[in-house]
Structure 1
């Protein structure tokens, strides 16, 4: 029985084999390098001969003042991104759902969703030009009597620039999820509401929002797993030394310490700490998603 089933599915297994090999080579193979987190790694001596320091790198990290600020920046920026993106996606989905002209609705949705496909290497250059001290945004603000704002060089402003640009790029993806959830609501509920004299806002408040509540909870819960991932590509493309205090996150700090300053063991220890915490958060988020939204992975 098993032999017949395996023989029948053999072409599918062969088709998957290249992808499995790539995953093993590029995802699991490099994990051997995590041993650097417990060594005073020296590239000349390699993994096997470098001095073993145990948990010494982790103890050292707790004494480094920068890491506490970096952790705070990561959590602070990530939480703001999750909250703002969720709220923007819900509001935009509700507004799009009210559009009755189907072609116009599709065009608007496509325009909003398009930034999701753009790389931050491209967007970083665009936003640097737009938000420069003498850029278009500050020129417009100057015409309405507002003093120029140093968007990419002010520690008080920069985190909000990250959140705003992230929402602009990613909110379109969430719109698809919420529009799909809205389309699953029974149309008879709206017909009954109209007969009872309910307006559009009343229908949104009493039918649409309760109808997608479980999806909102699910999406917000699953986002907890990425709370330590503040977006390396975006931050790296927009920040500079002037805003390290408020914009430096775990991934950018690891990049600078590991690749630029050649402190491989310290950078690996930080990244390993992030991976362990993220694993715990992902596990908690899936448990909460199962508990509150009956969401199953398998």
Structure 2
């Protein structure tokens, strides 16, 4: 019997794969350390997620600990607790505030720098705005305390000199989220601007020349050429941020919050940290972390499908 087309092609495909593997052996060898890193430190520990479905005991380990009865016991425990709505609400609100107020400043700064013709001034502003990105959150919190401390903060000294009273910025539920979002914008505005400035290079310069010939001013060129030219980048960053909407910035909040602002500052990650590492309830903490991850996956898939309409999807 004659060989089918698939059978005839199979040896050729195998031979071609071996030939290409040997030809690019140096590249494959360079990939091995990266693949090992992800296998050991990223995908390997994912097996620990089964703790969410077990009555985990440290002495017995993951394999020796019995399964929870029912299997959704710790998920139900979190959802029935009075902390579920508070932590979920705070997480979503803080993330949305950072998303809504955090993206426009980077775009505006990038547009302003793109319009500047003086190279030295442009580089100076870009460097100054980018420097806070390299500061640790501990240093940023130290600066915030030096400015807003109720006892000896610089801003409070001015307010006290004018009104005779000080404002408890760091312990007030009315001010905490504003300070949180503001410091985040200040730290990341330069980094965001660099991404958008790189996106400007993909815009065809002839579009600006044609607009000038038609009598368009700078504002019209920004609105009709610059912003549409980076629309795909804006949508891409928006989709990526929506995927992390339940993160809300653990490090920043953990360093800056205190017991006075728990009602408006306690997010899922900080609650999981206290329950898992302080109270040693690993099963409940893992269940909540897994719950948050699943919601994040749903959000990023939904945002990606929505962004496909404007050609800004990831896949």
TM-score (norm 2): 0.86
1:5 aligns with 2:20: yes
Aligned to 2:63: 48
Q: Contact 2:133/2:191 (CA < 8 Å) preserved in 1?
A: yes
Aligned to 2:40: 25
Deviates more, 1:284-293 or 1:90-99: 284-293
Q: Contact 2:235/2:313 (CA < 8 Å) preserved in 1?
A: no
Shift of 1:143: 4.7
Of the three residues 197, 221, 241, the one matched with 1:179 is 197
* Distance (Å, rounded) in 2 between the aligned partners of 1:193 and 1:152: 49
Closer, same or farther: CA 15–190 of 1 in aligned 2, 3 Å: closer
Shift of 1:92: 1.0
Of the three residues 177, 184, 205, the one matched with 1:166 is 184
Shift of 1:110: 1.5
Aligned to 1:155: 173
Q: Contact 1:221/1:288 (CA < 8 Å) preserved in 2?
A: no
1:223 aligns with 2:278: no
Aligned to 1:34: 49
Shift of 1:183: 3.4
Which is higher, the Rg of structure 1 or of structure 2? 2
Equivalences for residues 94-109 of structure 1 within 5 A: 94-109=111-126
SS of equivalent residue, structure 2 residue 101: helix
Closer, same or farther: CA 20–192 of 1 in aligned 2, 3 Å: closer
1:124 aligns with 2:137: no
Q: Contact 2:231/2:312 (CA < 8 Å) preserved in 1?
A: no
* Distance (Å, rounded) in 2 between the aligned partners of 1:188 and 1:15: 41
Shift of 1:144: 5.2
Closer, same or farther: CA 209–21 of 1 in aligned 2, 3 Å: closer
Q: After superposition, give the CA deviation of every residue in 1:135-160 in whole Å (9 maximum; x if it has no partner).
A: 12222444555853222211121111
Shift of 1:212: 2.9
1:80 aligns with 2:109: no
* Distance (Å, rounded) in 2 between the aligned partners of 1:49 and 1:148: 56
Matched positions, count: 297
Of the three residues 258, 272, 277, the one matched with 1:254 is 272
Closer, same or farther: CA 11–200 of 1 in aligned 2, 3 Å: closer
Aligned to 1:66: 83
Q: After superposition, give the CA deviation of every residue in 1:154-210 in whole Å (9 maximum; x if it has no partner).
A: 112111111111111112222122223333333344344444444333333333333
Unaligned residue ranges in structure 2 (runs of 5+): 1-15
Deviates more, 1:276-285 or 1:157-166: 276-285
* Distance (Å, rounded) in 2 between the aligned partners of 1:278 and 1:86: 19
* Distance (Å, rounded) in 2 between the aligned partners of 1:155 and 1:168: 21
TM-score (norm 1): 0.91
RMSD between aligned alpha carbons?
2.1
* Distance (Å, rounded) in 1 between the aligned partners of 2:254 and 2:174: 18
Deviates more, 1:105-114 or 1:286-295: 286-295
Of the three residues 250, 256, 263, the one matched with 1:232 is 250
Closer, same or farther: CA 197–291 of 1 in aligned 2, 3 Å: closer
Shift of 1:85: 1.4
SS of equivalent residue, structure 1 residue 179: helix
* Distance (Å, rounded) in 2 between the aligned partners of 1:170 and 1:189: 30
